[in-house]
Chains A and B, each alone.
Chain A
Amino acid sequence: MNTRNLALSGLFVAIMLILGYLEKVLSLGWGYGIKLGLSNCVLLLCLYWFGVGNSLLLMVAKVFLAALLFGGLNAITLSLSLGGGILSMAGMILLVFVVKDVSPVGAGMVGGVLHNVGQLLVAILLHRFPVLYTYMALLVVIGAVMGAITGSLVLRLKHFLPYERRQRFGFAGKKEAPRTS
């Protein structure tokens, strides 16, 4: 990892924390565990920018720092966020690096859905939350809608990626020349 990426990683973690805090303060949660999940958009962008390893590190850093800063440094909250984060990252990694030929919107949708699924699985398996299929269906729909929103944000932000990354994921325009900086 070069210095530039290291600095960017720190910046991304900070952005995720701020976005997470804003969502909490503005109370974009309407109960039932529904929220926008804007930090998912940053993580998806990180996947395109840095690749798998660094993005996973950033996810773990975000989970622990958010717990430390905004309260929730307890086993239940941590296990829920980690469960959601890991499953959602796994899904997005699968789509972006293995399946390929999926746009950020598709990857974001899967990320959003799997985040909710992961949290529910942890809640059911570890914390004996009752199994409610209608509630799961609601969470999957919400995850898909929110994921599509965050995914389309990444679609708007993809021009900030370094040229070789854009080329790799097919985001680069045909006539564009490599940036010489």
Chain B
Amino acid sequence: MKRRDFWVFTAIMGLVLVLLILGRALKPAPVEKARPTLSVTLAGEEVSGQPEAANSYLRIKQGEAYYHLVPLNKPGEIVIHQEHGQENVIHIDKDSVVMHAANCPNHDCVRMGRMTLQNIETRVNQRWITCLPHQLSLELIPGDEAQRLMEGL
């Protein structure tokens, strides 16, 4: 170990500390208002417009487009197909979301596990499950925030 290695180490630890403090101090940015243009099929019914009342909602974003909010009040399966054969299978339950399967190369999204209304405070990825190769992100939005979002539209 040479002398300047110490400074390298200190700088990296400093960066980690700053990021951790920022992560603690800053709450997740409030939801962006965006007009949903796509709808998903859940148990044979299309979810669009005003969704059923629920404690929490799932917002799916693909590329720049948003799907209509999906109420998280009962078990269900959502399959997102894209034009080049990309496929993501999302399983939802009461207040929880998990990426069940995906045909992306790295499967990071599947490994991110189940996200629930309770664990989004402590998860590393907070309230997101992201599938970068498919440019797909799942965001779990608490009910009150979703209400404000829907009223603003």
Of the A-B pairs whose beta carbons lie under 8 Å apart in the complex, a sample of 20, sorted by A's number, is: A31-B107, A32-B124, A33-B108, A80-B132, A103-B2, A109-B9, A109-B12, A110-B8, A128-B64, A130-B130, A132-B125, A132-B126, A133-B20, A133-B26, A134-B124, A135-B126, A136-B19, A137-B19, A137-B20, A144-B16
A76 within 8 Å of B by Cβ?
yes
Residue of B nearest to A99 (CB): B4
Task: Collect the chain B residues with CB atoms within 8 Å of residue A29's CB.
Answer: 106, 108
Given contacts A95-B8, A140-B16, 10 further A-B contacts (CB under 8 A): A101-B3, A105-B5, A106-B9, A123-B132, A127-B135, A128-B137, A130-B28, A130-B130, A134-B23, A138-B124
Number of interface residues of A (CB under 8 A): 37
The reply to whether A140 and B12 form a contact with Cβ atoms under 8 Å apart is yes
Q: What's the nearest-Cβ distance from chain B to residue A122, in Å? A: 10
A22 within 8 Å of B by Cβ?
no
The reply to whether B19 and A71 form a contact with Cβ atoms under 8 Å apart is no
B112 within 8 Å of A by Cβ?
yes
The reply to whether A133 and B130 form a contact with Cβ atoms under 8 Å apart is no
What's the Cα separation between A130 and B28 when bound, in Å?
9
Q: What's the nearest-Cβ distance from chain A to residue B26, in Å? A: 7
Q: Considering the complex, which residues of chain A in the window 99-141 have a beta carbon less than 8 Å from any beta carbon of chain B?
A: 99, 101-103, 105-106, 109-110, 113, 123, 127-138, 140-141
